[in-house]
Structure 1
Amino acid sequence: MAGLAESGSNPDVDLLYDINGLAKDAPHWFDRVVEFVGEYGLLLAMILLVLGCWWSVRRRGAEDAASSVAALVWAPLAAAVAVLVNVPIRGFVERPRPFFDHQGLEVLVSGKTDYSFVSDHATITMAMAVGLFVANRRFGVVGIGVALLEGFCRVYMGVHYPTDVVGGFALGTAVALLLSPVAMALLTPVAKAVERSPRVGWVIRARGRSYEGQGSVVSGARGERVGAEERDLAA
């Protein structure tokens, strides 16, 4: 991998220059926007997507609300696990950042001295997006779009090769999908226990939804009692 990075005649480096070259032609203010979005903004957007999906699941109060919330909890956990898995990968590959080996790049973020492969930002956003997709297809598709945009921004900013981003996407997807059955087996019972709790059940369902079924049972029982009393009076 590092050997490929040293040559400017491979597609990885060519694509790096093509995408990063857009930063040279763009206005300064636009580069500053991409810098913020690529470094912090899209990570925040992923968190807001997970929270938005949780709010939607909670308000809807469907029968599978507990399992959906469990999947949402797994999304950030998958990102954390994927980043931990990336630590030995980075140490093994030892690929320098592209601006150390290639001249003329427009580097929008300074101070990046750690290894380049694989991209933590791409790993985190894709792991969360895939975890979100497991919980809710509609929110998941939006999340995947955010992750793809994150990958583009990292190359645009001159801090990663395209293959760093692709590797991050692959790592995040693998961790989120392969460990999902185990995570769901562990998290779903916890979510169901929380759902049954009178104190914290609101985390899974809105309060009106939580007692909707119980209210119907109580109303039915009350109606039966009234009917029985009327029959006794008539007798």
Structure 2
Amino acid sequence: MAGLAESGSNPDVNLLYDINGLAKDAPRWFDRGVEFVGEYGLLIAMALLVVGCWWAVRRRGGEDAAPSVAAVIWAPLAAAIAVLVNVPIRGFVARPRPFVDHRDLDVLVSGKTDYSFVSDHATLTTAVAVGLFVAHRKFGLVGIGLALVEGFCRVYMGVHYPTDVIGGFALGTAVALLLSPLAMLLLTPLTKAVEGSARVGGLIRARGAALTGEEAVITGAQVERPEDRDLAA
């Protein structure tokens, strides 16, 4: 793969120059903005998205509250696992950063000395996005959009080839989806146990969220019956 990087005739390098070339013509303030967004901003946005998704599913309540919160918890866990899986992949492929072989690139971030394939940022954001998609479609779609923007930013900044980003998309998706059944099998009983707790049950279901009769029996909640209201009157 390093050999491919040395040739300017392959589509990967051509697309790298097309996207990074936008940085050469853009105002400096815009480049600084992309640098912050691509390095830190989108990671912060993904963290806020996880919190927002958790807040939404716990307020929604219903019998799917515990599994939905379990899916939200899985999203950042999937990202962490995907990044760990990427460690041996990077060492095995050993692909230099694009600016090592192409010194005329406009590099917006300095100090990158590790290998290029696969992009950690693309891997992390994609794993979170796909994990959230399992829990809540709308939040997941927003996350996928942010992951795509992250991938573009990494190439724009001159620190990754397009194929590094595509590899990150594939790795993050694979980890989040393939390990999801096992994760849900382990996390759902935990969230259900927390849901039944008087002290911390609000982490799974907001106060006032709807309880079905069957759920009330399981959690020990009391459901007011019409005849009870008549007797009270």
TM-score normalised by L of structure 1? 0.92
Q: Which residue of 2 aligns with 1:104?
A: 104
Matched, 1:222 2:228: yes
Q: Which residue of 1 aligns with 2:185?
A: 185
Q: Which moved more, 1:58-67 or 1:196-205?
A: 58-67
Q: In the superposition, relative to structure 1, how do residues 197 and 7 fare at CA in structure 2: closer, same or farther (>3 Å)? A: same
SS in structure 1 at match of 2:49: helix
Post-superposition CA distance 1:137-169 (Å, at most 9, x none): 111111000000000000000000000000000
Q: Which moved more, 1:153-162 or 1:44-53?
A: 44-53
Q: Which residue of 1 aligns with 2:14?
A: 14
What is the identity, as a one-letter code, of the residue corresponding to 2:154?
A: R
Deviation at 1:119, TM superposition (A): 0.2
The higher radius of gyration belongs to 1
Distance 1:51 1:223 in 2: 39
Q: Do 1:53 and 1:136's aligned partners in 2 also have CA atoms closer than 8 Å?
A: yes
SS in structure 1 at match of 2:7: coil
SS in structure 1 at match of 2:103: coil
Distance 2:94 2:17 in 1: 21
SS in structure 1 at match of 2:224: helix
Q: 5+ residue gaps in structure 2?
A: none
Q: Which residue of 2 aligns with 1:230?
A: none
Post-superposition CA distance 1:76-122 (Å, at most 9, x none): 00000000000000000000000000121000000000000000000
Q: 5+ residue gaps in structure 1?
A: 228-235
Q: Which residue of 2 aligns with 1:206?
A: 206
Distance 1:221 1:97 in 2: 72
SS in structure 2 at match of 1:53: helix
User: Which of the two has greater helix per residue?
Assistant: 1
Distance 2:91 2:79 in 1: 19
Q: Do 1:202 and 1:210's aligned partners in 2 also have CA atoms closer than 8 Å?
A: no
Q: Do 1:201 and 1:210's aligned partners in 2 also have CA atoms closer than 8 Å?
A: no
